């Protein structure tokens, strides 16, 4: 057990050093990711026409700006760019053999590599995030207590785990299909919409007629799929959209999804390795 944690610690240290190799490129890429939030603020300002009293599906103008900022923070934890494609590429070109011939667990290695990425990312982005939220502090008029802040922090961690496990599971499909780039693109689009990154999930059922089957299906789908924990759920916690017993239920559901996705990853990897022919380099 101690030896295993030493390996994990070594992987984490190595991955952090790797991320710091091209510091200028990493810093520039991190800061550029803040630009879309400016367009988001302008977009919602135009939609609400600066009317503070106007509400759209229960969201005021300041709620939407706060939501956009919180979603950006949540996605910074849960997004895993390049993970699924990297796993599929390793399977296709044979690089995955290094995980099969050495005493290193592939999922464990990739997990700690992503943890390292997030640590370096927030070391760089922490200042801009603090500045951005301070400049927009007028949009946050919500009363927060220790329980809410704790639930928010836990939701970000769960979002990271759900995002990682979903992306790795998609990448493991490469054991069965030679090319998965189209599937990754489709999943990315679904994720963008169903996670609440585009619009709050509260809005989607309202797009259907009252009492229609489409509204019922949309409500059930959004309520029980894991996508919401990657963006919408953390924001909804701070905005007070999810409270009390419902909040506890969602946290338990997120933990259950983490366990289900972890088991699915283990099964997919074990079965994929059995049929793997080790082609490539």
Residue 281 confidence (pLDDT) above 50: no
User: Is this structure's pTM higher than 0.95?
Assistant: no
Reported as half-sphere exposure (CB side, CA atoms, 13 A), residue 228 has a value of 20
Question: Residue 179 domain-assigned?
Answer: yes
Residue 193 confidence (pLDDT) above 60: yes
Q: Determine what percent of the chain is predicted with pLDDT higher than 70.
A: 81
Question: Residue 92 domain-assigned?
Answer: yes
Q: Which helix (H) or strand (E) holds 176?
A: none
Question: Residue 16 domain-assigned?
Answer: yes
Q: Give residue for tokens 């961690």.
A: 157
Quote the CA–CA distance of 203 and 207 in Å, as a whole number.
7
Residue 231 CA, chain-centre distance (Å), reads 6
Pair 211, 129: CB distance under 8 Å = no
Strands 55-56 vs 59-60: parallel, antiparallel or unpaired = antiparallel
Question: Residue 281 domain-assigned?
Answer: no
Band of pLDDT at residue 138, cut at 50, 70 and 90:
confident
Question: Residue 280 domain-assigned?
Answer: no
The residue segments making up the domain with residue 164 are 2-275
**Facing residues of 55 across strands?**
60
Mean pLDDT, the chain, as a whole number?
Answer: 81
Number of compact structural domains in the chain: 1
Q: What is the pLDDT of residues 117-134, one digit of tens each?
A: 888 778 777 777 788 888
Q: What is the pLDDT of residues 61-101, one digit of tens each?
A: 888 888 988 998 888 889 888 888 888 888 888 888 887 77
Question: Residue 44 domain-assigned?
Answer: yes
Nearest to 33 by CA among 61, 62, 73, 84: 73
Question: Residue 42 domain-assigned?
Answer: yes
């Amino acid at each position: 057990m101690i030896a295993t944690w030493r390996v994990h610690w070594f992987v984490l240290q190595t991955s952090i050093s790797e991320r710091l190799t091209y510091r200028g490129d990493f810093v520039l890429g991190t800061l550029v990711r803040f630009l879309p939030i400016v367009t988001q603020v302008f977009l919602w300002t135009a939609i609400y026409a600066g009317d503070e009293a106007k509400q759209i599906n229960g969201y005021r103008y300041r709620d939407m700006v706060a939501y956009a900022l919180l979603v950006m923070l949540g996605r910074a934890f849960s997004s895993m760019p390049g993970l699924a494609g990297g796993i599929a590429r390793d399977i296709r070109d044979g690089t995955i053999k290094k995980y099969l011939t050495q005493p290193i667990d592939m999922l464990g290695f990739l997990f700690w590599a992503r943890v390292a990425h997030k640590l370096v990312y927030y070391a760089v982005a922490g200042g801009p995030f603090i500045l951005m939220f301070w400049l927009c502090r007028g949009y946050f008029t919500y009363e927060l207590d220790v329980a809410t802040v704790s639930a928010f922090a836990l939701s970000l961690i769960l979002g990271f785990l759900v995002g990682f496990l979903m992306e790795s599971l998609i990448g493991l499909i490469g054991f069965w299909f030679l090319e998965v780039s189209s599937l990754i693109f489709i999943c990315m689009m679904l994720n963008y919409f169903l996670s609440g990154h585009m619009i709050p999930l509260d809005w989607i059922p309202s797009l259907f007629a009252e009492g229609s089957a489409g509204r019922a299906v949309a409500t059930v789908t959004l309520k029980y799929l894991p996508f919401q924990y990657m963006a919408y759920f953390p924001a909804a916690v701070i905005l007070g959209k999810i409270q009390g017993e419902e909040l506890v239920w969602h946290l338990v559901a997120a933990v259950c999804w983490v366990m289900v996705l972890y088991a699915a990853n283990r099964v997919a990897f074990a079965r994929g390795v059995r049929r793997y022919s080790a082609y490539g380099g």
